[in-house]
Amino acid sequence: MSDATGVNPQVTDAVTIANTKVLAEAPAMAMGSLYQTVGNSVAMAAANAVYAQQQANVSYQASSTLGITKLFSQNA
């Protein structure tokens, strides 16, 4: 490395170390972001499943009520 830039070698070393640190941490940061995204997606899928089950139970209860009402309304 030539010293033609006139920059203090300690500054050059500090910048090089900082850049190396950033590059070394990049894969871990990417995996952390991926894990957060996957966790959020799984949580939303579970919430959607609960909501769908609740809506199905409402429909089942309504159809059962209608069926029982029709049974009781028939003339014997």
Which tens digit of pLDDT belongs to each residue from 28-64? Answer: 999 999 999 999 999 999 999 999 999 999 999 999 9
In SS3 terms, 28-61 reads as HHHHHHHHHHHHHHHHHHHHHHHHHHHHHHHHHH
Percent of the chain with pLDDT over 70: 92
Query: pTM of whole model > 0.75?
Result: no
Which amino acid type is present at position 6? G
Q: What does the alpha-carbon distance between residue 27 and residue 35 come to, in Å, rounded to a whole number? A: 12
Q: Identify the helix (H) or strand (E) that includes residue 71.
A: helix 9-73
Contact between residue 34 and residue 23 where contact means Cβ atoms under 8 Å apart: no
